[in-house]
């Protein structure tokens, strides 16, 4: 997690929790002139609705304007993590043991970066994923992106 991501989390987590939501994750995308700050919020009981996103957006926007963590203009987006929710932390992986996930590694392992399989276990700061009867052990810090695969 970058230092900007850590600062954003420290600023936003109390705001999101005060609004009875969980800060699931933060993504800051910087592409050319356009910047996008995406905040994912969740709630166990009833899930997230548009009203929750609006409330968090208003409060987060006010805090971010005062603290000026992101230089220049950016677009703020607040949403639910959805059915194909991204997984950022070990705690997220622990919640979805036994589920199918897809992941992209920062660097290739055995000649590939993309894997899809069942999340079997967590061992320390690594996850065990079963891909077509083969077990792979991946350190979480080596994962660029991971998502649940929705089951219909």
Domain that holds residue 112: 90-148
Residue 73 sits in the same domain as residue 99:
no
- Determine the Cα–Cα distance for residues 71 and 49; give it in Å rounded to an integer: 30
1 has a pLDDT exceeding 60 = no
- Residue 23 is predicted with a pLDDT of 95
> Which backbone phi and psi does 62 adopt, to 5 degrees?
-60, -45
In angstroms, rounded to a whole number, what is the distance separating the alpha carbons of residues 95 and 100? Answer: 12
Residues 72 and 109 in one domain: no
- pLDDT tier at 2, thresholds 50, 70, 90: low
State the total domains in the chain. 2
Burial tier of 74 (Cβ tally within 10 Å: 0-12, 13-18, 19+): middle
Instruction: Give the angle subtended at the CA of 89 by the CAs of 65 and 14, to the nearest 5°.
Output: 35
Q: pLDDT of 78-135, one tens digit each?
A: 999 999 999 999 999 999 999 999 999 999 999 999 999 999 999 999 999 999 999 9
Whether residues 50 and 19 fall in one domain: yes
Q: What is the pLDDT of residues 29-80, one digit of tens each?
A: 887 777 899 999 999 878 899 999 999 999 999 999 898 888 888 999 999 9
Whole-angstrom distance, CA of residue 25 vs CA of residue 16: 11
Please provide the DSSP assignment of 34-48 as one string: EEEEEEEEE-TTT--
């Amino acid at each position: 997690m970058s230092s900007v991501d850590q600062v954003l989390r420290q600023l936003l987590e109390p705001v999101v929790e005060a609004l009875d939501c969980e800060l699931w994750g933060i993504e800051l995308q910087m592409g050319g002139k356009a910047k996008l700050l995406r905040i994912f919020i969740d709630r166990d009981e009833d899930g997230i609705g548009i009203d929750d996103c609006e409330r968090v957006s208003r409060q987060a926007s006010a805090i971010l304007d005062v603290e000026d963590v992101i230089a220049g203009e950016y677009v703020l987006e607040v949403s639910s993590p959805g059915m194909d929710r991204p997984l950022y932390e070990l705690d997220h992986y622990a919640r979805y043991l036994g589920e199918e996930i897809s992941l992209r590694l920062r660097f290739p392992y055995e000649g590939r970066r993309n894997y899809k399989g069942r999340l079997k276990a967590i061992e320390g700061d690594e996850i065990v994923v079963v891909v077509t009867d083969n077990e792979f052990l991946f350190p979480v810090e080596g994962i660029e992106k991971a998502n649940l695969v929705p089951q219909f």
